[in-house]
């Protein structure tokens, strides 16, 4: 009985690893057709896949400035940010995110939204593989095509068309910064006419675009 269960468990594990590699290899080359988040969105799906060449670098700089300034330095995980988040949680009980762009991409493509250690474990698994197989350019390209950018809206192109009426290929630093500022909560944050804290946050991101360019923080994307 135990031997039979062990064989079944082994087959499940091998099958999961094989499926992981198949999906990761496939999405290295082909656009991600749909994600779990999209399928569960009651507002429908508006998306237009664009290659990285057709997305303005301003958005890449803005996203790195806002979400993951060490994107080109780490191998998928910002250990310093994780340690700080754990310390803050232990001291104050406040939960602060420490996910990198790579982790967010793994979650958005292969998993579901929400927290919990179970999902985090799978997120780490897929993050390892996309860092190994895809590389930074593909990771940021996929991220900017599957990230939720508004109500029922996914990706840079659909977001740019929704908010500014033109392609993501010609986003100004101001427009890119406003989109990046809204990414953590795109259903609730105003992109066209942000006010208060959100407007200040967008202005801060726009200023940091210059730092990203000056310090080569996007060098792994534009090699």
Task: State pLDDT tens for residues 19-75.
Answer: 889 999 999 999 999 999 999 999 999 999 999 999 999 999 999 999 999 999 999
Instruction: Kindly list the domain boundaries of the chain, sorted by start residue.
Output: 1-30, 31-214
Give the global pTM: 0.91
What pLDDT does residue 30 have? 96
- Domain over 31-214 is classified CATH 1.10.3810.10: yes
Residue with tokens 């990203």: 212
Partners of residue 154 on adjacent β-strands: 47, 148
Residue with tokens 């400035």: 65
Cα separation of 181 and 107, whole Å? Answer: 19
What pLDDT does residue 89 have? 59
What pLDDT does residue 94 have? 57
Counting as low any pLDDT under 70, the low residues of the chain are 2-3, 85-97
Cα separation of 43 and 18, whole Å? Answer: 33
Among residues 128, 156, 152, the alpha carbon closest in space to that of 143 is found at: 156
């Amino acid at each position: 009985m135990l031997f039979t269960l062990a064989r079944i468990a082994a087959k499940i594990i091998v099958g999961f690893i094989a499926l992981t590699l198949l999906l990761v290899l496939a999405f290295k080359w082909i656009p991600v057709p749909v994600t779990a988040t999209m399928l569960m969105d009651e507002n429908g799906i508006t998306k237009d896949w664009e290659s990285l060449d057709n997305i303005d670098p301003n958005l890449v700089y803005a996203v790195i400035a806002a979400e993951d300034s060490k994107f080109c330095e780490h191998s998928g995980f910002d250990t310093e940010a994780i340690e700080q988040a754990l310390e803050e949680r232990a001291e104050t009980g406040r939960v602060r995110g420490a996910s990198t762009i790579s982790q967010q991409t793994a979650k958005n493509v292969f998993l579901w939204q929400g927290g919990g250690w179970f999902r985090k474990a799978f997120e780490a698994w897929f993050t390892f593989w996309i860092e190994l197989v895809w590389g930074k350019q593909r990771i940021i390209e996929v991220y900017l095509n599957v990230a939720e950018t508004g109500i029922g809206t996914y990706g840079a192109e659909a977001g740019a068309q929704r908010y500014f009426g033109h392609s993501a290929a010609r986003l100004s630093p101001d427009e890119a910064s406003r989109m990046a500022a809204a990414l953590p909560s795109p259903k609730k944050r105003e992109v066209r006419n942000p006010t208060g804290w959100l407007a200040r946050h967008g202005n801060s991101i726009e200023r940091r675009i210059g730092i990203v360019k000056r310090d080569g923080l996007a060098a792994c994307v534009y090699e």
